[in-house]
Structure 1
Amino acid sequence: MAAPIVVYPPDEDGGRRVRARCAIPGGAYSTGDLLEFLRRAGLDPDDVTLDDPG
């Protein structure tokens, strides 16, 4: 099964495109941005390990 959240490598502006369950909610420019996208996707940010490759 594919991961429901994919964070892509930094683009030329330093942001990272985020894909959450086939939708692209935007670009994350900070850890806070990423955690907000995860929260909107239904994940509890307190249960997220940001360096988890899975």
Structure 2
Amino acid sequence: MTAPRVTVSPPSPSGGRRVTVDGEALGVAYGPADIAEFLRRAGLEGLDAADVERSAVIEWRGGGPGVWSPPGSRT
């Protein structure tokens, strides 16, 4: 069994990042805790916010786990 492919998209202009698992949209996250909750709801138990930030199964696009605002924003 292969690990699910978790993708966190770049921050949107209004803030937040879209999260998908194997291409299925889970929602828009505004921090690592949101991602952990989305994954829990999708049946991927055992990841808290700190785990999300360092997990090898998550592909961060447009910046890592510390980036939640689009480039050029003041937040």
**Does TM, scored on the shorter chain, surpass 0.5?**
yes
The structure whose residues are more often strand, as a share, is 1
1:19 Cα offset (Å): 0.6
Aligned CA RMSD, in angstroms, stands at 2.5
Runs of 4+ in 1 over 4 A off after TM superposition: none
Percent of aligned positions that are identical: 42
> What residue ranges of structure 2 are gaps of 5+ in the alignment?
58-75
- The equivalent position to 1:51 in structure 2, one of 42, 50, 54, is 54
User: Which has the higher relative contact order, 1 or 2, with Cα contacts under 8 A spaced 6 or more apart?
Assistant: 2
Aligned length: 54
After TM superposition, the score normalised by the length of structure 2 is 0.54
Query: Which residue identity lines up with residue 6 of structure 1 in the other structure?
Result: T
> What residue ranges of structure 1 are gaps of 5+ in the alignment?
none
1:42 Cα offset (Å): 2.3
After TM superposition, the score normalised by the length of structure 1 is 0.70
Alignment of 1:1-54 (within 5 A): 4-43=5-44, 44-46=46-48, 48-52=51-55, 54=57
